[in-house]
C-alpha cells in the first residue's frame, strides 16, 4: 500500500492524488538508514575509541604473524618491539588529540594549514625527500626513526582549515565568492600531491574535501560540476602522462596480467571460511610482497578466512556508523564539520584498500588504516581519529 503525506493546510480524510505528496521508497529507506543521534557525543566517542583500539590490536596480531615466518629470529624480535612501540605511540597520539579537542585547535588552524603546505613542499627538497619506486612521497625528518608521508598529514590539516572556512563564511557559503577561493585552495593541495606523483592520495583528498564542502553548505550544483570535472581531469591526465597508471587500469580491465595482483587475489580467496591459521599462510611464506602493507586484507583473508574479512568489514562499518552519530550530536559547527571530513577521509581509505584487495578497483598502493604496517600512516590515522573523538569536547555554538 502506498504511503502518503498530507500537504500543510490540507483538510479532510479523503486522499486526492493532485493534493497529496507520495513518499518515495528512497526517502523511506534514507530515513530508516540514517544514524540516530545519540543523547551525548561521548557515547559514540567511546564506541569509536573501542573500535580503534580493537583494530590496532588486530593489526598488531597480523603484523606479528607476518613477521614470524618471514624474518630470522633476531630480526623478528626487533620487529615485534618496533611494532609494539609504534602502536603504543599511535595510541598516545590519539589520546593527546582527543584531550586537546577540535575547539581548542580552531585559533591555530591557519598556522597548521601552512605547516601542511610546507610539508608537501619538502618532498621536492634534497636532503628531506625520500624517493621510493620512482615517487617522491616521503620525507625524512632528522631524529625520527621513520619516514613521513606529508600527504597524509596535510589531508588532516587541510580538512581543519576547510571546516573553519565554512564557519567563517557564514551565509556567504552559498555564493560563488566564497566557493571559488575554497575550491582553488583544494586544487593547490591536490596539485602538490599529484605531482609527487600520487594519484590515489589525490583522489582520496578530493573525496574528503568535496564531502566536507557539501556538508558545510556549498551549493550542490557547483560541487557536482567541480567533482565531475576534477575526477575526469585527474584520471584522464594521469593515464595520459603516467605509465604506471595506464598499466594499472589495463590490469583492472583484464587487458594485461600482473603476477603481484593475481597472487594477492589468490591469497585472499585461499583461506576459505575460517582461514589457514595465523602464521600458516602459504602465499605469505612463499615471499609474496606487500602483504603486510598494501595487501594486508589478502593476509587477513588467507589466515582468518572469509570470517575474518567480514569481521574487519563489520568493524569499519561500525566505525562509520558511530562517526556519523557523533557528528550529528556535536553542537559546535566547526568541530562537527571537521569530524565529518576526517571520518570521510579515514573510512574512504579503508574502502579503497578493501576494493583493491577484492579487485573491485584498479591496483593502488594504499594501506588499510590501523591494520597495515606503517609509521607515519598509523600516526596520521590516529591523529585524525583522536581529533574526531575530540569533537565531543566543548560545545558552545549551535550547529
C-alpha cell at 279: 602464521
Q: Give the CA distances from residue 383 to residues 99, 103, 157, 313, in Å, rounded to whole numbers and listed in that order.
A: 11, 15, 10, 22
DSSP conformational letter for 148: B
Which structural domain range is residue 381 located in? 40-390
- Using an 8 Å Cβ cutoff, are 396 and 332 in contact? yes
To which H or E segment does residue 5 belong? strand 4-6
Mean pLDDT over residues 73-89, rounded? 91
DSSP letters of 268-301?
A: HHTTTTT-S-TT--HHHHTT-TTTTTTTHHHHHH
- Using an 8 Å Cβ cutoff, are 167 and 333 in contact? yes
**Which is more confidently placed, 387 or 267?**
387
Confidence of residue 336 (pLDDT cuts 50, 70, 90): very high
User: Does the residue 8 lie in any domain?
Assistant: no
Mean pLDDT in the chain?
A: 86
- Using an 8 Å Cβ cutoff, are 346 and 208 in contact? no
User: Percent of the chain at pLDDT above 90?
Assistant: 50
User: Percent of the chain at pLDDT above 70?
Assistant: 88
The confidence score (pLDDT) of residue 27 equals 56
Please give the tally of structural domains in the chain: 1
- Using an 8 Å Cβ cutoff, are 388 and 41 in contact? no
User: Does the residue 154 lie in any domain?
Assistant: yes
- Using an 8 Å Cβ cutoff, are 62 and 80 in contact? no
Confidence of residue 29 (pLDDT cuts 50, 70, 90): very low
Nearest in space to 152 (alpha carbons), one of 125, 123, 109, 131: 123
Beta strands per DSSP E along the chain: 4-6, 20-22, 129-132, 135-139
Confidence of residue 259 (pLDDT cuts 50, 70, 90): confident
C-alpha cell at 8: 500543510
Q: Give the CA distances from residue 223 to residues 71, 181, 182, 373, in Å, rounded to whole numbers and listed in that order.
A: 49, 13, 11, 35
**pLDDT greater than 70 at residue 375:** yes
Q: Give the CA distances from residue 51 to residues 26, 44, 56, 169, 371, in Å, rounded to whole numbers and listed in that order.
A: 30, 10, 9, 35, 12
User: Does the residue 275 lie in any domain?
Assistant: yes
**pLDDT greater than 70 at residue 165:** yes
Mean pLDDT over residues 295-307, rounded? 92
User: Does the residue 24 lie in any domain?
Assistant: no
Confidence of residue 111 (pLDDT cuts 50, 70, 90): very high
Confidence of residue 312 (pLDDT cuts 50, 70, 90): very high
User: Does the residue 21 lie in any domain?
Assistant: no
What angle separates helix 333-357 from helix 296-329, to the nearest 10 degrees?
A: 160
Mean pLDDT over residues 377-398, rounded? 83
- Long-range Cβ pairs for the range 350-353 (8 Å, 24+): 350/316, 351/316, 352/200, 352/204, 353/294, 353/296, 353/297
User: Does the residue 278 lie in any domain?
Assistant: yes
**pLDDT greater than 90 at residue 3:** no
User: Does the residue 32 lie in any domain?
Assistant: no
Nearest in space to 94 (alpha carbons), one of 392, 393, 394, 381: 381
User: Does the residue 49 lie in any domain?
Assistant: yes
Angle at 316 between CA 314 and CA 321, to 5 degrees: 90
Amino acid at each position: 500500500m502506498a504511503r502518503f503525506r498530507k500537504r500543510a493546510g490540507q483538510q479532510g480524510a479523503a486522499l486526492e492524488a493532485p493534493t497529496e505528496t507520495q513518499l518515495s521508497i528512497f526517502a523511506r529507506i534514507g530515513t530508516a538508514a540514517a544514524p540516530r543521534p545519540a543523547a551525548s557525543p561521548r557515547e559514540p566517542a567511546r564506541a569509536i575509541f573501542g573500535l580503534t583500539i580493537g583494530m590496532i590490536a588486530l593489526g598488531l596480531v597480523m603484523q606479528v604473524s607476518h613477521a614470524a615466518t618471514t624474518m630470522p629470529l633476531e630480526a623478528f624480535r626487533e620487529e615485534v618491539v618496533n611494532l609494539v612501540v609504534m602502536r603504543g605511540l599511535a595510541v598516545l597520539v590519539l589520546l593527546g588529540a582527543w584531550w586537546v579537542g577540535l575547539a581548542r585547535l580552531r585559533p591555530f588552524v591557519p598556522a597548521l594549514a601552512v605547516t601542511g603546505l610546507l610539508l608537501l613542499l619538502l618532498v621536492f627538497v634534497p636532503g628531506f625527500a625520500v624517493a621510493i619506486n620512482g615517487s617522491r612521497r616521503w620525507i625524512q625528518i632528522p631524529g625520527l626513526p621513520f619516514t613521513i608521508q606529508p600527504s597524509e598529514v596535510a589531508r588532516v590539516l587541510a580538512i581543519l582549515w576547510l571546516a573553519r572556512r565554512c564557519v567563517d563564511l557564514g551565509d556567504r557559503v552559498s555564493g560563488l565568492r566564497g566557493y571559488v577561493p575554497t575550491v582553488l585552495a583544494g586544487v593547490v593541495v591536490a596539485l602538490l600531491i599529484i605531482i609527487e606523483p600520487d594519484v590515489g592520495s589525490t583522489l582520496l583528498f578530493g573525496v574528503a574535501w568535496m564531502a566536507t564542502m557539501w556538508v558545510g553548505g556549498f551549493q550542490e550544483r557547483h560541487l557536482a560540476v567541480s567533482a565531475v570535472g576534477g575526477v575526469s581531469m585527474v584520471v584522464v591526465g594521469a593515464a595520459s602522462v603516467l605509465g604506471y597508471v595506464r598499466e594499472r587500469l589495463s590490469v583492472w580491465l583484464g587487458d594485461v596480467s600482473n603476477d603481484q595482483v593475481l597472487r594477492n587475489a589468490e591469497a585472499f580467496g585461499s583461506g576459505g571460511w575460517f582461514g589457514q591459521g595465523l602464521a600458516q599462510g602459504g602465499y605469505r611464506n612463499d615471499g609474496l610482497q606487500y602483504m603486510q602493507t598494501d595487501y594486508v586484507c589478502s593476509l587477513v583473508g588467507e589466515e582468518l578466512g572469509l570470517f575474518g574479512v567480514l569481521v574487519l568489514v563489520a568493524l569499519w562499518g561500525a566505525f562509520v556508523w558511530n562517526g556519523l552519530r557523533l557528528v550529528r550530536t556535536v553542537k559546535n559547527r566547526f568541530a562537527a564539520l571537521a569530524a565529518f571530513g576526517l571520518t570521510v577521509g579515514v573510512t574512504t581509505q579503508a574502502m579503497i584498500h578493501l576494493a583493491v584487495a577484492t579487485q573491485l578497483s584498479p591496483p593502488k598502493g594504499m594501506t588499510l588504516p590501523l591494520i597495515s604496517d606503517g609509521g607515519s600512516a598509523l600516526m596520521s590515522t590516529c591523529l585524525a581519529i583522536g581529533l574526531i573523538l575530540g569533537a565531543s569536547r566543548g560545545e558552545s555554538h549551535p550547529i
